[in-house]
Amino acid sequence: MKSKILIFVLMFTAVVCHAQQDAQYTQYMYNTINVNPAYAGSRGVMSIFGLHRTQWVGLDGAPVTNALSLNTPINDSNLGIGISFVNDRIGPTVENVISADVSYTIQTSEAYKLSFGVKATGNFFNLDVSKLNPAEQGDPQFQNLNKFSPNIGAGVYLHSDKSYIGISVPNFIESKRYNNNDVAIFKEKISYYLIAGYVFDLSSDIKFKPSVITKLVQGAPLQVDLSANFMFNEKFVLGAAYRWDSAISAMAGFQVNDGLFIGYGYDMETTKLRHYNSGSHEIFLRYELFNNFNKIISPRFF
């Protein structure tokens, strides 16, 4: 018989994996490359992005995510490339995802560009059963697992200096992460993403940007994140977000100089889970490299 701790952790891991197959981000509007490969190179500069997220602080086995990415246009061509790495830890599992992105952009009008992107991904999944603390050590039903799964994805991204909308499927191939007697405890299903945002100039010093990301996965409720950010004097960003039936968030950011932007987000659960944790924290840095030809005077809000 397994211990109560083992049963709880298995239940917790299964629930989290079902509800959150891909790493979750509050400040998704700055981390678009992870869900849509067509974003690669769209900012017109080399963009380096790093993020750390600690979810559900105080709850043992809660998700901890680290993400690092780089994307850039290729000289004066219509091509963009990107590479990203995500480390996601949930309970006894560790998932490392490495992705490479290629995009091609066409000018559809004076203001808008349309980008098409493809993504190639390698997923390294690890299950450490020693963290489950089973009552019977060495039980053959609970074995350490290391599994590699390749995948491909694609997306489109229509954007201007003030607006964007994108549709993407980061992973076209469904894969089983762990089998117990041929039953998939965690099966990664295809996820469909829709993102959109628009920047309003409220005055010469204040910009307002509402944005949304929706995620559709078979067998799970539709996930909708709504956010609203204000930028003051091209330097300070303050905002709030609502994850449908899940959490409310506060966000802040600061444009340190032309290249460096830093942001922070805090989530407070609105579900019963709020009684067992003190919220989620997310911090990121974005650094962009300019040259004399593509340096922008006014920083892009997305």
- In tens, the pLDDT along 203-244 reads 999 999 999 999 998 777 889 999 999 999 999 999 999 999
Domain ranges of the chain: 1-9+28-289
> pLDDT tens-digit profile of 30-63?
989 999 999 999 999 999 999 999 999 998 889 9
Q: What is the 3-state secondary structure (H, E, C) of 75-116?
A: CCCCEEEEEEEEEEEECCEEEEEEEEEEEEEEECCCCCEEEE
For the domain spanning 1-9+28-289, the CATH number is: 2.40.160.40
Q: 131-146 as b/e, with b when 16 or more CB fall inside 10 Å?
A: ebebeeeeeeebeeee
DSSP assigned state of 189: P
Q: How far is CA 73 from the centre of its chain?
A: 21
Q: Can you list the alpha helix ranges (DSSP code H) found in the chain?
A: 4-19
* Res 2: pLDDT: 39
Residue 175: pLDDT above 70? yes
Q: Give the tokens for residue 38.
A: 């067509």
